[in-house]
Amino acid sequence: MTQAINLNRDLGFARIAAAVPQLRVADVDYNVDALLDLVKKAGAAGVQVLAFPEMCITGYTIQDLVQQQALLVKAQQGLQNIVEASSAHNMLIIVGLPLAVDQKLFNCAALVCSGQILGIVPKTYIPSYKEFYENRWFSSAEDACSDTCHLNGKSIPFGSNILVSLLGLPTAIIGVEVCEDLWVPLAPHEYQALAGATVLINISASNDILGKSDWRRTMAISESGRCAAALCYVSAGTCESSNDIVFGGHTLIAENGTLLKESPRLQREQPLVIADIDIDRLAHDRLQLNSFRQSPSHIKPFRVFEANCGSPSAAVLHRDIDPHPFVPGDPARRAEHCHDIFSMQVASLAKKLNGSKLQRIVIGVSGGLDSTLALLAAAKTMDYLGLPRTNIYAHTLPCFGTTSRTKNNAVSLCKALDVNIRTVDITKTCEAHMHDLGHNGDEDIVFENIQARYRTELLFNRANELNGILLGTGDLTETALGWCTFAGDHMSHYHVNVSVPKTLVRYLIRWVADEELAGTPAQKVLYDVLDTPISPELKRPVKGKIAQMSEDIIGPVELADFYLYPFVRLGARPGKILFLANEARKRKLFEGKYTLEDLHRWLLNFIKRFFANQFKRTCMPEGPKVGSVSLSPRGDWRMPSDAEAALWMEDLEQMYSRLR
């Protein structure tokens, strides 16, 4: 039976939400009731941090009424009602209200949790331009005389230097600012992030005009990326006064440069927007970004208070899962990615040729995906350099495992691209080698590697003969899994595909076929290459068909890439990766059909192969980095080749036993 998975402890997520209540301007009792209804809904959903709009207890558009004692006293009473009600919820509640402190009026965010006020954060930047006139009423946080205020007989921390950490997930640190604070060059949330805040909350009453929502969205996404944080933005809704302006209730939640959730605007009924923030991912990125740790010396110290916000079950995950993290789901964005990657491959290969003062390329073509992509990049590079494509010397080297389909596709593609093609049957040479070894011809690892190594030897020698470079063909997925022969196809002068994952190789070839070679004989060949099973063809065919399927050994490539991305890019624990893979399976997001047992088996296989094959990556040739995941030993990935994988396998098994 599946055991409950803890959102914080087991997965490193924090559940945050934003809500836009239906309020009445200056009707505090009504507004508090509306807020508390949403608090109950959020509590039922396991929300840990809930943000409401600026001045939501009174309404933002009260104008001069904000200076009325009756309203100010009532606002404090309304806040106290929320504080008392919060005792029933393990949740950090952020509400906006006007507050008089030291004979000055401040536009504030109150941080409420479990029956107490943890702190009051006043607004720093006070807008008084165009439709805004807040200087008439409010002082800036910079003008505060005290770092505490008194409410209902209690001393409460007061100031813009307040952060809140979540009990049980210490890297989940909440920073809060108010509206205009987001829009300025040196925003309070930037200092909060440098002080450790991983979740940045902006409660706002930004009105809606044409184009403003686009700018808010851009800011939320870009600021979350710049700060390596999550950013939650919530704004006042349509129930505010519309005397001269209109409010749309725009709500956005972004994480490290990616928009997670967004509400519809200008709707009377506003949904409760919930997102599970990957705190572990944010903490990992900050550990990697050493420049992020170089904080300016003038950063003022922050006060950090702890909030017991519970730890909800992950039975429902409020987060989209990308089953193919290397491949954009949007066709237009995917085409843009393909264009950029192909262009980077061409530009880097051109520089390699120019730098080496060479003009010829030698390449082995098999009729498979990887060598096809490398050949396409080589052909485009010759065009880029103004050199004839006949400077490419392609070789197809059939042996024991070669089928007529792949061989014919290799030859046909080379002819269609106007490159040199030479067929050299290496069967007799490999047989002679086995004879020298005293090998009986059984299909074991020696049988396979003899073919792969001799092909590489022949191609290296051919490159020497022609005064050219040998172009490698292996991709990122195969590099991670060690699915190559050491000192065989593992080696070349330059690996043009080395950081392109297998799931993206297919799309790149299809993009070239449709965009670069549409209507040519090469396009038809490329379509057949795309339909050919993935295989190194190192075992004898069965009735003329490919007998050795790569995915039967290394696993489905879509799973391999799903595991590879979070493992390398995010430093994610295997147990968490398995949980997310299982969520994707339950949501039917994968192209293949898998059981939990399949996911576990192939993730275990991934871990074993990744650790066992570091020795190949340590000495692999140069190649262009085209994405955020690379395994170059000179750039992105360094690890000892004799490291133990036991710790990672143990983490995987613990989660697997809980999910079963």
Q: 527-585: per-residue pLDDT in tens?
A: 999 999 999 999 999 999 999 999 999 999 999 999 999 999 999 999 999 999 999 99
Residue pLDDT, tens place only, 161-181:
999 999 999 999 999 999 999
Q: Is residue 115 a contact partner of residue 308, using CB atoms and an 8 Å limit? A: no
Q: How many CB atoms lie within 10 A of CB 435?
A: 10
Residue 239 sits in a domain of what CATH number?
3.60.110.10
**C-alpha 468, offset from chain centre:** 39
Examine the domain organization and report whether 468 and 588 are in the same domain: yes
Residue 494 sits in a domain of what CATH number?
3.40.50.620
Task: Give percent of the chain with pLDDT exceeding 90.
Answer: 93
Residue 83's SS3 state is helix
Examine the domain organization and report whether 269 and 389 are in the same domain: no
| Mean pLDDT in residue range 404-413 | 97
Among candidate residues 307, 342, 367, the one where a domain is terminated: 307
Q: Is residue 107 a contact partner of residue 76, using CB atoms and an 8 Å limit? A: no
Examine the domain organization and report whether 435 and 536 are in the same domain: yes
What is the per-residue pLDDT for 298? 67
Residue pLDDT, tens place only, 281-331:
999 999 988 877 776 666 778 999 999 998 888 889 999 999 999 999 999
The 3-state secondary structure of 275-292 reads: EEEEHHHHHHHHHHCHHH
Closest CA to 658 of 604, 572, 579: 579
Residue pLDDT, tens place only, 277-292:
999 999 999 998 887 7
What is the per-residue pLDDT for 317? 95
Examine the domain organization and report whether 490 and 458 are in the same domain: yes
Residue range of the domain that includes 388: 331-659
Q: Is the pTM of this model over 0.85?
A: yes
- At residue 130 the predicted structure's pLDDT band, cuts being 50, 70 and 90, is confident
Examine the domain organization and report whether 241 and 383 are in the same domain: no
Residue pLDDT, tens place only, 4-32:
899 999 999 999 999 999 999 999 999 99
Q: Where does residue 367 fall: left (phi above 0), alpha (psi -120 to 50 degrees), or beta otherwise?
A: left
Residue pLDDT, tens place only, 341-370:
999 999 999 999 999 999 999 999 999 999
Examine the domain organization and report whether 372 and 298 are in the same domain: no
6 burial class (0-12, 13-18, 19+ CB within 10 angstroms)? middle
| Mean pLDDT in residue range 369-398 | 98
Domain count, the chain: 2
Q: Is residue 363 part of a domain?
A: yes
Q: Is the pLDDT of residue 146 over 90?
A: yes
Closest CA to 305 of 536, 451, 120, 63: 120
Active site residues: 54, 123, 179
Q: Is residue 313 part of a domain?
A: no
| Mean pLDDT in residue range 146-172 | 95
Closest CA to 406 of 289, 277, 548: 548
Q: Is residue 110 a contact partner of residue 149, using CB atoms and an 8 Å limit? A: no
Examine the domain organization and report whether 141 and 89 are in the same domain: yes
